[in-house]
Structure 1
Amino acid sequence: MTNWTIESLAAALRAGEVTVPEVAQYYVDRIMAEDAEGPNAVLTLNPFWMEDAQRLQATLQNEAPLLHGIPILVKDNIDTYTMGNSAGSVALKQVPVESDAPIVHRLHEQGALILGKTNLSEWANFRCMASVSGWSSLGGQTRNALNTRWSPSGSSSGSAAAVAAGFAVAAIGTETDGSIVSPSAHHGLIGLKPQVGRVSRTGIIPIAWSQDTAGPMTRTVRDSAIILDAISGPDPDDPVTLSAENILEKNLLNECNASSLSGRRLGFLKPDEQFGTEVHEAFPRVIEQLRQAGAECIELSPLPSLATLQDHEITIMTSEFPEALANYFINRRPESPLKTLADVHRFNLDHADTVLSVFGQTWFDRCLSAPSTQTQMYAEALASIDAFRQEMSEDWFLKHNLEAIVTPSNGPAWLIDHQHGDRYTGGNSHLAAVSGWPSITVPYTESDGRPLGALFVAPAWQEARLLNIAFAFETYIQRTDET
């Protein structure tokens, strides 16, 4: 049962081979039996999971959406009326949520069974510069499902670990920079970060409106396409989604039908010095596999603007976070005694024995002294990001007539270390995160049992193209592994 995909389980449900309550019971039993001593991925179970499962079974029809009755887990920085929303912080444990986030509402409309909420790196890994991925004051330490000594990466740690452990068919994560693709890559999963504006962010505890998004974390590219279709669409409370209403592709699953990469033009970036020897030795295999599958692969030179990109990204995130969080509290949690980042910062100090027991809140410190979004410094950072986006478009995509670029997603997982924090082993999520463009990670090999992923990035709103390429690569990898 743990090998079910959305499509295979949907077929089994419609054939009467299994019922929604039986499936739900199976996954809940696995969580109860294995999670505490295993990945510690699931923070909260839906208190009405059996009632929901029975209702979905009663309304199951052959023409129902593919997600009807499919157990999904949702990261606990997304509003759910019945389960709250904590960002992993004890500060928000008792603060009520008045309604589901639009993304949760869309999943319900498609008949998905929201089985529970997953743990995460507290405040989506934006509380401390020396954090430990997967740890939160409310949920404790999430561990890598493949080896509990390894880091799960973050911040959607629980979502990745839960899918890899077989606690649900798929999960929803969120990303500002790396928080979907990195934990997915470290668990050998597909992680899809959509274009900013494709998926509503209303009801998701924010970091930066310039980069925040939510997306699927799954075992297959086709499953990611199904979920992305379900959660995409306009939201009047998230204006960025309205501008894209008329250009969104529909039926993204139709794009996952090509088993050949023949003639596709792809640019590639070699791993830089942040990556260890494992990735330097393994990544050329990706390019070889792509070429064997028929793709034209063009080596790209790093862009000059990459040298200062992180500084501009930090300015934008630290400036936007205090304002975005205050707006979230006002609009989504009006009964919260915490109204601002300063309130949360003070709460953490007052409860330091619990909240700050593993790491501090240096990102919060920096945000409280950051320039506002009305300053020249913030405007200059935005202009620099725009220039980077234009440089990518012109010097990479247009110059070489590329459809996508491919680069390493991650280095191998490191050991969990509460004393010294994360030991980052490399990643390239910033290319899509800062530009707002879509990206997807696909596993291609392992290093001593630790998965490595290839990250594909496409220009704005090109998820259909990205899924087509990723599916073809996934298919080729599976075919060569079988032979």
Structure 2
Amino acid sequence: MRRRLSTVLIAAATIAAFTPVANASENLDSATIPALQQQMAAGRLNAVRLTSAYLQRIRTVDRKVRAVLRVEPDAVAQAEASDARRKANALRGPLDGIPVLLKDNIDAGVTTVGSRALLDSRPAKDAELVRKLRAAGAVILGKTNLSEWANFRSAKATSGWSGVGGQTANPHVLDRNPCGSSSGSGAAVAASLAQVAIGTETNGSIVCPAGATGVVGLKPTLGTVSGEGVAPISHEQDTAGPMARHVVDAAITLNALRIKPAAADNGSLRGSRIGVWRKAGLDRDVDRVVNATVDRLRANGVTVVDVELPYLDQTGQHSLALLLSEFKHDLPAYLASRVGGPKTLEELIRFNTNDPVELSKFGQELFTQTLAAPPTTDPEYRRKRALVTDLSRRSIDETVAKHRLDAILAPTNSPAWKTEYGEGDAFVLGSGGPAAMSGYPNITVPAGAAGPLPIGVSLFAGRDTDARLLAYAADLERLQPARLTPRYLPTLPR
């Protein structure tokens, strides 16, 4: 019998009801963590072989994608230690021996946030979430590229570009954008360069790249995962979360990352009430995918209700101003925690101005606007932050209560746009704002495609409903398998 994903969240080590792949190096795209653990338990695979298989893909496939900034020199040694623990019957859990990539705004070894200004400085210690991954036995494989400074340097930035890593490509069609800011994490997982990756989100930066690259991405409830040691934008919205090819892998990874116990939720999509926020009329491929998803849900015993979310105009008009103040408050403490390198935003601005690469694609106007932003002690800032947080939570909570919903479903993304520089991303639609500004969980799963380009749908609900959303996402993944294996096309066919 297939186990519920909420059970995975509470006791991930008990999962074994998945079919193992025959050869890990040939089937990484379809392998799940439970399947890999079955193979290792049976002696048909070990952590060194698995890690080596991913390292080989990074050496070959990533030449096209440019998702990985660097690999850890001790990755194979970490895998050897996992194999020794298995031999001694001392495994640390279902992540033991599983290769994981980290977005390069998460402190572990060399950490640059994509900025050349930080190449000569180092974090003083690993981020708390990295310590949790190591304690769970994960193999820290390396670091992924990102939109520099998590897409908070320029209003006209192109997602997936950083001064350190250059441009990450969408592995499905290489001249298309992977969205951001967790661009490398999404692209790396889609291209099977690691079993899972960790991304971060302030407003859409996990779910958008996950949707654009056709993988699962979970933005947890704010406070579920420690933000200590993660380069900040806003302590009011920032969170790290897992990105994976399979919902079960995201659930297992979240279980290792979380700093508080999960509430059990054995919910199933069958018999549930789901509100659909269609965002219709913006993209006909998205409309088609959403309609097909709704039809599939109704055919499997789900009551579907169309909804619109209130208050979004009011929350959206203040969002950037709040983030500027919060970045101004949070960034100096992060820079101060590092050994060497710049310690102020003014120093970063001067470095970029004088560097031959940093301003070659777009500017740094968000940095300069931050200098003029009011402090977080300002009464008007406090009023606007309280208003935005309250209205964004009410937007979801009141919609759920009004229609007696278990969750809300919305399109995650329109098909990926062509990567170009000058005016920033050609963004058509996104649905991550309400969950991001409220601090509520949001998960995206592949749901369809426009030709070779994936389209995802998101599920979100109220605070601490992470386990329920994982369970629903697992059901949707089973009812509507839609994930595409990347084809690395140079451009779209005519």
Q: Please report the TM-score for the alignment, with normalisation by the length of structure 1.
A: 0.91
Q: Give the C-alpha shift of residue 13 in structure 1.
A: 1.3
Q: 1:263 aligned to 246, 264, 271, which one?
A: 271
- The 3-state SS of whatever aligns with 2:65 is coil
Change (3 A) 1:399 1:328: same
Change (3 A) 1:89 1:394: closer
Name the structure 1 match of 2:344: 340
Name the CA distance, whole Å, in 2 between partners of 1:449 and 1:383: 42
Kindly provide the CA deviation profile for residues 250-289 of structure 1, in whole angstroms up to 9, marking residues without a partner as x: 6x7x85xx7x52220111112156x322212332222222
Name the CA distance, whole Å, in 2 between partners of 1:232 and 1:394: 24
Change (3 A) 1:43 1:390: closer
Q: Give the C-alpha shift of residue 370 in structure 1.
A: 1.1
Name the structure 2 match of 1:240: none
1:285 aligns with 2:289: no
1:358 aligns with 2:361: yes
Name the CA distance, whole Å, in 1 between partners of 2:325 and 2:298: 43
1:170 aligns with 2:204: no
Name the CA distance, whole Å, in 2 between partners of 1:413 and 1:187: 8
Q: 1:158 aligned to 184, 194, 197, which one?
A: 184
Could you tell me which runs of 5 or more consecutive residues in structure 2 were left unpaired when the two chains were aligned: 1-23, 485-494
Kindly provide the CA deviation profile for residues 74-101 of structure 1, in whole angstroms up to 9, marking residues without a partner as x: 1000000xx3210011111110222110
Name the structure 2 match of 1:74: 102
Q: Give the C-alpha shift of residue 202 in structure 1.
A: 0.3
- The 3-state SS of whatever aligns with 2:123 is coil
- The 3-state SS of whatever aligns with 1:154 is coil
Name the CA distance, whole Å, in 1 between partners of 2:341 and 2:482: 55
User: Residue type of the partner of 2:305?
Assistant: I
Could you tell me which runs of 5 or more consecutive residues in structure 1 were left unpaired when the two chains were aligned: 234-244
Change (3 A) 1:394 1:110: closer
Contact 1:120-1:135 at 8 Å conserved across structures: yes
Name the CA distance, whole Å, in 1 between partners of 2:424 and 2:483: 38
User: Residue type of the partner of 1:289?
Assistant: R
Change (3 A) 1:473 1:272: same
Name the structure 1 match of 2:3: none
Q: Give the C-alpha shift of residue 336 in structure 1.
A: 2.8
User: Residue type of the partner of 1:349?
Assistant: T
Name the CA distance, whole Å, in 2 between partners of 1:151 and 1:41: 12
- The 3-state SS of whatever aligns with 1:114 is strand
Name the CA distance, whole Å, in 2 between partners of 1:408 and 1:480: 15
Name the structure 2 match of 1:209: 235
Name the structure 2 match of 1:117: 143
Name the CA distance, whole Å, in 1 between partners of 2:144 and 2:305: 39
- The 3-state SS of whatever aligns with 2:342 is coil
Name the CA distance, whole Å, in 1 between partners of 2:98 and 2:341: 36
Name the structure 1 match of 2:44: 17
Q: Give the C-alpha shift of residue 311 in structure 1.
A: 2.1
1:449 aligns with 2:452: yes
Name the structure 1 match of 2:303: 296
Contact 1:315-1:381 at 8 Å conserved across structures: no
Name the structure 2 match of 1:405: 408
Change (3 A) 1:27 1:390: closer
- The 3-state SS of whatever aligns with 1:478 is coil
Q: Give the C-alpha shift of residue 324 in structure 1.
A: 0.4
- The 3-state SS of whatever aligns with 1:202 is coil
Name the CA distance, whole Å, in 1 between partners of 2:401 and 2:424: 40
1:320 aligns with 2:347: no
Q: Give the C-alpha shift of residue 400 in structure 1.
A: 1.6
Q: 1:427 aligned to 427, 430, 443, which one?
A: 430
Contact 1:271-1:283 at 8 Å conserved across structures: no
Kindly provide the CA deviation profile for residues 31-69 of structure 1, in whole angstroms up to 9, marking residues without a partner as x: 112212x11000011011121111111112375411000
Number of residue pairs matched by the alignment: 455
Q: Give the C-alpha shift of residue 402 in structure 1.
A: 1.3
Q: Give the C-alpha shift of residue 169 in structure 1.
A: 0.6
Kindly provide the CA deviation profile for residues 386-431 of structure 1, in whole angstroms up to 9, marking residues without a partner as x: 3313522553111222111011100000111124431112111101
Change (3 A) 1:91 1:63: closer
Change (3 A) 1:52 1:129: same
User: Residue type of the partner of 2:100?
Assistant: I
User: Residue type of the partner of 2:220?
Assistant: P
Change (3 A) 1:282 1:51: closer
Name the CA distance, whole Å, in 2 between partners of 1:387 and 1:26: 47
Contact 1:187-1:451 at 8 Å conserved across structures: yes
Q: Give the C-alpha shift of residue 22 in structure 1.
A: 1.3
User: Residue type of the partner of 2:167?
Assistant: Q
Name the CA distance, whole Å, in 2 between partners of 1:377 and 1:316: 10
Name the structure 2 match of 1:249: 262
- The 3-state SS of whatever aligns with 1:474 is helix
User: Residue type of the partner of 1:355?
Assistant: E
Contact 1:14-1:62 at 8 Å conserved across structures: no
Name the structure 1 match of 2:316: 310
- The 3-state SS of whatever aligns with 2:476 is helix
Q: 2:209 aligned to 183, 186, 210, which one?
A: 183
1:33 aligns with 2:60: yes
Contact 2:390-2:438 at 8 Å conserved across structures: no
Name the structure 1 match of 2:248: 222
Kindly provide the CA deviation profile for residues 313-363 of structure 1, in whole angstroms up to 9, marking residues without a partner as x: 112111000110101122x21x33411222211211121x21110111111
1:4 aligns with 2:7: no
Name the CA distance, whole Å, in 2 between partners of 1:302 and 1:204: 31
- The 3-state SS of whatever aligns with 1:455 is strand
Change (3 A) 1:178 1:390: closer
Kindly provide the CA deviation profile for residues 135-177 of structure 1, in whole angstroms up to 9, marking residues without a partner as x: 0000111001111111011011111111111111110000001
Name the structure 1 match of 2:420: 417
Name the CA distance, whole Å, in 2 between partners of 1:262 and 1:480: 22
Change (3 A) 1:480 1:120: closer
- The 3-state SS of whatever aligns with 2:210 is helix
Name the structure, 1 or 2, with higher relative contact order (CA <8 Å, separation 6+).
2
Contact 2:312-2:392 at 8 Å conserved across structures: no
User: Residue type of the partner of 1:380?
Assistant: R
Name the structure 1 match of 2:225: 199
Q: Give the C-alpha shift of residue 103 in structure 1.
A: 0.3
Change (3 A) 1:161 1:51: same
